[in-house]
Chain A
Amino acid sequence: MSLEVRGIEVWRGRGRALGPVSLELRPGEVLAVVGPNGAGKSTLLSAVCGELPCSVGEVLLDGRPFEKWPHRERALRLGVLPQESSLGFGFTVLEVALLGRSPHVSRGDGAADQEAALGALDAVDMRHLASRPYTALSGGERQRTQLARVLAQLWDAPAHGHRYLLLDEPTSSLDLAHQHLVLEKATRFAREGGAVMAVLHDLNLAARYADRIAVLAAGRLVELAAPAQVLRADLIAQVFGLQVEVVEWPSVPGPFVIPSGRASASP
Chain B
Amino acid sequence: MSASDVAPVRAAYPSQEQPRTAGTRPRPWGVLAALVVVAVVTALSAGSVRVPPLALLGSVLESLGWETGHRLEPMQEAVLLSIRLPRVVLGLMVGAVLATSGAALQALFRNPLVEPGLLGTSSGAALGAVAAIVLDVALSSRLGPFRLLAVPGAAFLGALGATLLAQRLGTGGGRTETARILLAGVAVSAGASAGIGLLMQVATDAQLRSITFWTWGSLGGTSWQVVGVAAVPLVVALGLLLRNARVLNLLLLGEREAWHLGVDVEKLKRQLVLVAALGVGAAVSVTGMIGFVGLLVPALLRLALGPDHRRLMGAAALLGAALLVTADTLARTLATSEMPVGALTSVLGVPVFISLLARRGLT
Residues on the A chain within 8 Å of B306, using CB: 90-92, 95
- A202 → chain B, closest Cβ, in Å? 14
Tally of contact residues, A, Cβ under 8 A: 47
- A166 → chain B, closest Cβ, in Å? 9
Residues on the A chain within 8 Å of B3, using CB: 177, 180-181, 183-184
Contact in complex: B20, A80 (CB < 8 Å): no
Which of A70-78, A192-200, A211-219 forms part of the interface with chain B?
A: A70-78
Residues on the B chain within 8 Å of A73, using CB: 262
Known: A78-B260, A89-B302, A178-B8. Is A131-B246 also a contact (CB below 8 A)? Answer: no
B71 within 8 A of A: no
Contact in complex: A102, B254 (CB < 8 Å): no
Give B308's nearest chain A residue, CB to CB: A95
A128 within 8 A of B: yes
Most buried by B among A85, A93, A99, A184: A99
Residues on the B chain within 8 Å of A175, using CB: 8
Which listed residue (B262, B302, B363) contacts A71, Cβ 8 A?
B262
Q: Which A15-57 residues have C-beta < 8 A from chain B? A: 49, 51
Contact in complex: B7, A177 (CB < 8 Å): yes
Cross-chain pair count, CB within 8 angstroms: 113
Q: Which A70-111 residues have C-beta < 8 A from chain B? A: 71-76, 78-80, 82, 85-96, 98-100, 102-103, 107
Contact in complex: B1, A51 (CB < 8 Å): no
Residues on the A chain within 8 Å of B302, using CB: 89-90
Contact in complex: B20, A107 (CB < 8 Å): no
Contact in complex: B363, A92 (CB < 8 Å): no
- B17 → chain A, closest Cβ, in Å? 6
Known: A89-B252, A177-B8. Is A75-B307 also a contact (CB below 8 A)? Answer: no
B110 within 8 A of A: yes
- B244 → chain A, closest Cβ, in Å? 13
Residues on the A chain within 8 Å of B22, using CB: 95
- A177 → chain B, closest Cβ, in Å? 4
B13 within 8 A of A: yes
Contact in complex: A85, B17 (CB < 8 Å): no
Residues on the A chain within 8 Å of B260, using CB: 49, 51, 75, 78-80, 153
Contact in complex: A131, B20 (CB < 8 Å): yes
A130 within 8 A of B: yes
Known: A82-B254, A85-B253, A107-B246. Is A181-B262 also a contact (CB below 8 A)? Answer: no
Known: A85-B253, A87-B253, A89-B302. Is A98-B21 also a contact (CB below 8 A)? Answer: yes
Tally of contact residues, B, Cβ under 8 A: 37
A260 within 8 A of B: no
Known: A75-B261, A75-B262. Is A102-B256 also a contact (CB below 8 A)? Answer: no
Interface SS, B side: loop
How would residues 173 to 211 of chain A score, 1 for a CB under 8 Å from any chain B CB and 0 otherwise? 001011011011000000000000000000000000000
- A168 → chain B, closest Cβ, in Å? 11
Residues on the B chain within 8 Å of A51, using CB: 256, 259-260
Contact in complex: A180, B6 (CB < 8 Å): yes
Contact in complex: B259, A103 (CB < 8 Å): no
Known: A102-B261, A102-B262, A181-B8. Is A95-B21 also a contact (CB below 8 A)? Answer: yes
Contact in complex: B13, A72 (CB < 8 Å): no
Bound together, the chains give a CA A104 to CA B261 distance in angstroms of 9
Residues on the B chain within 8 Å of A100, using CB: 261
How would residues 269 to 309 of chain B score, 1 for a CB under 8 Å from any chain A CB and 0 otherwise? 00000000000000000000000000000000010001110
Contact in complex: A86, B20 (CB < 8 Å): no
- B227 → chain A, closest Cβ, in Å? 35
B62 within 8 A of A: no
Most buried by A among B1, B4, B7, B260: B260
Contact in complex: B253, A181 (CB < 8 Å): no
How would residues 234 to 269 of chain B score, 1 for a CB under 8 Å from any chain A CB and 0 otherwise? 000000000000100110111011011111100000
Give B4's nearest chain A residue, CB to CB: A184
Name the 9 nearest CB pairs between A and B, nearest first.
Answer: A75-B262, A184-B3, A130-B19, A180-B3, A131-B20, A72-B262, A89-B307, A103-B262, A177-B8
Given contacts A177-B7, A178-B8, 16 further A-B contacts (CB under 8 A): A71-B263, A80-B257, A85-B254, A88-B252, A89-B307, A89-B363, A90-B302, A90-B363, A91-B306, A92-B20, A95-B20, A98-B21, A99-B253, A102-B250, A153-B261, A181-B7
A-B residue pairs in contact (CB < 8 Å), sample of 6: A75-B261, A75-B262, A85-B257, A91-B306, A92-B19, A181-B3
